[in-house]
Amino acid sequence: MDAIISTPAPFATGRWQQHIDVRDFIQQNLTPYTGDASFLEGPTKATQQLWQLCLDALKAERDNGGCLSIDTDTISTITSHAPGYINRDLEKIVGLQTNQLLRRAMKPFGGFRVVDGAVKEKGQQVAQHVREVFEYVKDHNSAVFQAYDPEILAFRSKGVLTGLPDNYARGRIIGDYRRLALYGANALIAAKKADKLAIDGELTEHTIRLREEVSMQIKALEDMKAMGAMYGLDLSRPAQNAQEAVQWVYMAYLAAVKEQDGAAMSLGNASAFLDIYIERDLQAGLITEAEAQELVDHFVMKLRMIRHLRPGAYDDIFGGDPTWVTEAIGGQLADGRTKVTKTAFRFLQTLYNLGASPEPNLTVLWSNQLPEGFKAFCAQVSIDTSSIQYENDDMMRECRGTDDYGIACCVSHQEIGKRIQFFGARTNLVKTLLLALNEGREEKEGTTLLKGIAPLEGEYLDYEAVMANFKKSMDEVARVYTKAMNIIHYMHDKYYYEKAQLALIDTDPGIDIAYGAAGISIIADSLSAVKHAKVKAIRNEAGLTEGFEVTGDYPMFGNDDDRVDQIACEITDYFFAALRSHKTYKNATHTMSLLTITSNVMYGKMTGATPDGRLAGEPFAPGANPMHGRDVNGAIASLNSVAKFDYNSAMDGISNTMSLVPKSLGHNKAAQVENLTDLLDGYFAKKGFHLNVNVLDRDMLMDAYEHPEKYPQLTIRVSGYAVNFSRLSKNHQLEVITRTFHENM
């Protein structure tokens, strides 16, 4: 039967027509889908040809040491580069960051020195005229260091505070990229102009600055139009069909990643929005399912090709060259309907049509109310590709009060278009514990970082005394951490303002300030050992701890045992309360994450022996995971321990990574899908927050370790994001292989 082609139906009306309100548009026009995956289509010929070109480019990139080429001549802006194509005739969705696929651009306002260093590492030189610019203008990095004090510098150089965005862009802010499609740039400019006029009355530092910022946003919207025009697109007006909607959203996102190179540049929550346009065109017979899938495939292909220029040192912290183009999929609406659409399925289908991939970082917002067909498809995709992560939609909707949110980076909630986030990396909390055991001295060189920490008396460590010192140390670290964060975000706003993203966000949005802590499971086990066994500190001549002797058994985190799990929760609550006692820049709301990214190996290297028996240099567990091999009662007991953390103390996210061999999930695919679905339902009903699911054979990983060229697309999930296994350092790869695999037979 031939499809009947008709004019698309008009959108359902609503508040969204008078105000910038994408959420309302979605509420009024969404078509929830409760069926299964059987409607999905494979890749078109054009998709296959385009993807092959990408694979060739990716191979060339790998062969060239992980970076294909750099434009050393141009400071990247929204309009800096001529249009780029993969193959112009085949692309349904166009646009590249530079004029060439995988060519990296310089975004030096975060820190010119870092960009300069990264270019030099690749044996090239930044063009003289670019260098000259920074003889006259200041960047974020130099500004921050002008305001730092010796205390912050010491905490930073001794690895107590790590990964701070003080020499690179902070990222994490999610523009509401859907706005460009729904309203067009002209309407958005008009709204921003009205906002600016409304900033009046007695002017304060805040309102003066806001006026300047809104003016910059308007400029960014004008630039977006100019960028669109280079590709022959009229972004001044709203998108009129599915293809345009996808294209417009991508253009808005592209503007952001041309201007900024933040560690994480999430896409947000686009699938339900795009589905409205796709569904409308399908209903009108304007496109087929294969064409709908092709649009999503081409969009996702583009997202996979996003690149930023990074120095080698950056890779130690964030292994695998991630970009965190995180897209949140699924979840429920506040009114009880599901937000799952056919386009949610189509995004997941890209993992089959294009193969597994770490980016975009596909994140399923899991609710126990999700349609069964969608749950089963997610489980199946996890088993087949290990490329998706899950976060607790029921809990986030309840605690954060919105059903229109994305995930910034790995695990951080962000209401779309209404709130932003100040990223703060994390403190190595294990180092803080060691400060408490060493009179405030750093355990390696003995540098005094904290004053007033009493020496510990007696042969064995005493729980009460250790706790008292530790709490005092946490108070001090919270104080210094806050100073650093306030300086960083003040300067970032001033010197590297995200005008493209903030142009797509409400004027004067709410702000979360996101602190982080690494090593919670080591702390829990260390304190449990001190409390339930006998722990003797072995000290060197300088009196610094260099090892610990543990006599007797003690309960270990990861076995659903309250005797230790409650210690982990108590410390988390305490440290968060300590952070909250300090005033934040722009009165941002405190949040905290229990997260390590892939830095758990690096943290381990930098940290001395700990009272749980861990030797100096041994890796941390990723995120909030129990330590390797200590969760001896199997996966569920391990999940139950992590589920005990109070989300209210760690609203920036609690990361948990689970690696399973396929067999341990069940004896055949159907049983595996059912069991993984039950497992996810169970974990989130227990108020677990986040779960990475890897379903992999250890043998396969070993083979990939030895023959990376055989597995160019092998993807694994690590602490809140997915990485391409072959792009991890050998060290990281080994750590992943030895990490707890749940292998019950």
Nearer to other proteins by Cβ, of 373 and 547: the residue is 373
How many residues belong to the site for other proteins (CB under 8 A)?
29
- CA distances for 502 relative to 75, 173, 417, 581, angstroms: 20, 8, 8, 29
Nearer to other proteins by Cβ, of 21 and 393: the residue is 393
Binding marks (x or -) toward other proteins, 444..483, rule CB under 8 A? ----------------------------------------
Tokens of 699: 């043998």
Closest separation in Å from C-beta 649 to other proteins: 21
Q: Does 382 bind other proteins (CB under 8 A)?
A: no
Q: Does 512 bind other proteins (CB under 8 A)?
A: no
Cβ atoms of 93 and 298 within 8 Å: the answer is yes
Helix and strand totals (H; E) in the chain: 26, 20
Of 284, 465, 616, 637, which lies in the binding site for other proteins, with binding defined by CB under 8 A?
Answer: 637
Closest separation in Å from C-beta 226 to other proteins: 53
- CA distances for 212 relative to 208, 415, 605, angstroms: 7, 24, 45
Nearer to other proteins by Cβ, of 5 and 745: the residue is 745
Nearer to other proteins by Cβ, of 271 and 677: the residue is 677
- CA distances for 534 relative to 9, 550, 551, angstroms: 73, 6, 5
For residue 312, the tally of other CB atoms under 10 A from its CB is 12
Give dist(CA 79, CA 251) in Å, integer.
12
Q: Does 369 bind other proteins (CB under 8 A)?
A: no
Nearer to other proteins by Cβ, of 486 and 677: the residue is 677
Of 210, 230, 317, 636, which lies in the binding site for other proteins, with binding defined by CB under 8 A?
Answer: 636
Nearer to other proteins by Cβ, of 475 and 681: the residue is 681
Amino acid at 547: G
The candidate with the shortest Cα–Cα distance to 720, out of 636, 634, 654, 638, is: 654
Query: Which residues, in sequence order, are CB contacts of 40 under 8 Å at separation 6+?
Result: 289, 293, 345, 346, 349
Q: Please provide the size of the chain in residues.
A: 745
Stretch that binds other proteins, among 356-364, 385-393, 483-491, 662-670 (CB under 8 A): 662-670
Nearer to other proteins by Cβ, of 90 and 637: the residue is 637
Give me the DSSP letters along 250-265: HHHHHHHHHH---S--
Closest separation in Å from C-beta 415 to other proteins: 28
Tokens of 628: 């390797």
Binding marks (x or -) toward other proteins, 664..703, rule CB under 8 A? xxxxx--x--xx-xxx-xxx-xx-----------------
Cβ atoms of 512 and 172 within 8 Å: the answer is no
Tokens of 531: 């409390």
Q: Does 634 bind other proteins (CB under 8 A)?
A: yes
Closest separation in Å from C-beta 646 to other proteins: 17
Closest separation in Å from C-beta 554 to other proteins: 15
Give dist(CA 451, CA 39) in Å, integer.
65
Q: Does 485 bind other proteins (CB under 8 A)?
A: no
Site for other proteins in 531-560 (CB under 8 A): 560
Closest separation in Å from C-beta 660 to other proteins: 8
Give dist(CA 227, CA 588) in Å, integer.
33
Nearer to other proteins by Cβ, of 245 and 696: the residue is 696
Give dist(CA 572, CA 575) in Å, integer.
5
Cβ atoms of 324 and 653 within 8 Å: the answer is no
Closest separation in Å from C-beta 669 to other proteins: 12
Tokens of 145: 């260091």
Site for other proteins in 555-574 (CB under 8 A): 560
Active site (catalytic) residues: 409-410
Chain centroid, CA 156 distance in Å: 22
Site for other proteins in 726-745 (CB under 8 A): 742, 744-745
Tokens of 423: 């990223």
Stretch that binds other proteins, among 197-205, 419-427, 480-488, 637-645 (CB under 8 A): 637-645
Cβ atoms of 471 and 527 within 8 Å: the answer is no
Q: Does 635 bind other proteins (CB under 8 A)?
A: yes
Nearer to other proteins by Cβ, of 125 and 566: the residue is 566
Cβ atoms of 225 and 189 within 8 Å: the answer is no
Of 87, 551, 633, 648, which lies in the binding site for other proteins, with binding defined by CB under 8 A?
Answer: 633
Q: Does 640 bind other proteins (CB under 8 A)?
A: yes
Report the interface residues with other proteins, using CB under 8 A.
560, 632-640, 664-668, 671, 674-675, 677-679, 681-683, 685-686, 742, 744-745
